[in-house]
């Protein structure tokens, strides 16, 4: 039976694990490894619980499956394990743990500023019928983007976005890739959707839908023909007419 002392200890352990995740794991290539370990831990837990309710055969099957996956995980994620161990020896990472919650608050504030800059830019582009394609990838190293284009690595401002998508610049036809609240790349080429789409969707929309079909990325599109603002996600595209709804959508994407 849980008493207050046990509850407090569980709470402290939860905070420590979360701080470790923020300081060492989040937004790194090891994040997928940690998700896999979490899923494996759940599988191990279920395999031990099932015999208690007399599901011995199913419990034994899950036990051997978890054992096999444990070995496979070490082989598959060997590079990520090395990176994780290297990160744990990084002094900067320990500093990130100490200031984890402060960093989260700052990141939320930064995200709000980024959202305002994006809205300012796309509102102007919508009014002037300037085409734009902005990708919010879950993982910039997922191998889905065919060609990153030109590396930018700059703070997000409405002026910079408008400059990139101005139709006289070399980068305006490609996509802007946003990662960690920064413009990572511009002029990136995205995979086109191979599905049958409505005639009203041009190359820019096909690229947005295609990117969302083969990855967990969310893609913002401003139509050059109509000025419509849309979001492509999970292989579908939806037009947003209201700036308030656009802001809410961007908050869901960027404020995590």
Q: What is the pLDDT of residue 144?
A: 47
**Interatomic CA distance for residues 10 and 13, integer angstroms:** 5
Q: Averaged over 218-227, what is the pLDDT?
A: 92
Whole-angstrom Cα distance, residue 150 to residue 143? Answer: 16
> For strand 218-222 and strand 175-179, is the pairing parallel, antiparallel, or unpaired?
unpaired
How many CB atoms within 10 Å of residue 185? 22
What is the value of pTM for the model shown?
A: 0.59
CB atoms within 10 A of CB 68: 10
How far apart, in Å, do the first and last CA atoms of the chain sit?
Answer: 35
The pLDDT of 245-250, averaged and rounded, is 92
How high does pLDDT run on average in the chain?
Answer: 78
| Whole-number Cα distances in Å, 216 to 27, 138, 213 | 15, 6, 8
pLDDT of 179? 87
Sheet holding 132-136, edge to edge: 150-155, 182-188, 175-179, 132-136, 218-222, 229-233, 236-240
Pair of tokens at residue 79? 């590079």
| Helix, strand or coil, per DSSP, at residue 175 | strand
Pick the range with the lowest mean pLDDT from 4-13, 87-96, 177-186.
87-96
Q: Which residues contact 62 (CB under 8 A, 6 or more apart)?
A: 43, 46, 47, 50
Distance (Å, whole) CA 28 – CA 21: 10
Looking at residue 135, its pLDDT comes to: 93
Cα gap 227→60, rounded to integer Å = 59
- Count of positions (residues) in the chain: 256
For the chain, give every domain's residue range. 4-98, 111-254
Q: Which residue has the tokens 């830019």?
A: 121
Q: How many CA atoms lie within 13 A of 166 on its CB side?
A: 8
Cross-strand bridge partners of residue 236: 233
| Res 66: pLDDT | 78
At residue 150, the 3 state secondary structure works out as strand
Residue 220 C-alpha from the chain's centroid: 14
Write the CATH number of the domain with boundaries 111-254: 3.40.1700.10
* Whole-Å CA distances, 255 to 19, 113, 180, 195, 251: 18, 11, 11, 32, 5
Q: 196 pLDDT band (50/70/90 cuts)?
A: low
Question: 189 by DSSP, 3-state: which?
Answer: strand
For residues 73 and 36, the answer to whether their CB atoms sit within 8 Å is yes
Which whole-number Å values give the CA distances from 31 to 78, 134, 249, in the listed order?
Answer: 13, 24, 24
pLDDT digits 0-9 by tens, 74-118: 666 666 556 555 555 554 554 554 554 455 545 566 788 999 999
pLDDT tens profile 17-51:
676 666 555 655 556 666 767 777 777 788 888 78
């Amino acid at each position: 039976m849980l008493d207050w002392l046990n509850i407090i200890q569980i709470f402290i352990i939860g905070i420590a694990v979360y701080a470790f995740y923020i300081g060492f794991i989040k937004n790194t290539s090891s994040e997928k490894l940690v998700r896999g370990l979490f899923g494996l831990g759940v599988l191990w837990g279920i395999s031990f619980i099932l015999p208690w309710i007399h599901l011995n055969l199913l419990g034994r099957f899950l036990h051997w499956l978890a054992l096999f996956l444990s070995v496979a995980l070490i082989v598959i994620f060997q590079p990520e394990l090395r990176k994780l161990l290297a990160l744990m020896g990084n002094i900067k990472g320990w500093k990130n743990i100490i200031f984890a919650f402060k960093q989260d608050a700052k990141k939320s504030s930064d995200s709000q500023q980024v959202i305002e800059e994006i809205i300012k830019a796309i509102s102007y582009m919508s009014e002037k019928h300037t085409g734009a394609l902005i990708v919010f990838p879950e993982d910039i190293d997922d191998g889905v983007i065919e060609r990153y284009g030109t590396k930018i690595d700059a703070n997000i401002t409405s002026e910079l976005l408008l400059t990139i998508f101005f139709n006289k610049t070399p980068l305006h036809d490609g996509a802007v890739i946003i990662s960690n609240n920064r413009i990572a790349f511009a002029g990136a080429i995205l995979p086109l959707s191979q599905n049958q789409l409505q005639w009203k969707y041009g190359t820019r929309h096909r690229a947005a839908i295609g990117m969302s079909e083969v990855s967990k990325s969310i893609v913002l599109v401003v139509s050059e023909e109509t000025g419509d603002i849309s979001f492509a996600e999970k292989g579908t595209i939806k037009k947003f007419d209201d700036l308030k709804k656009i802001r809410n959508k961007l908050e869901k994407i960027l404020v995590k």
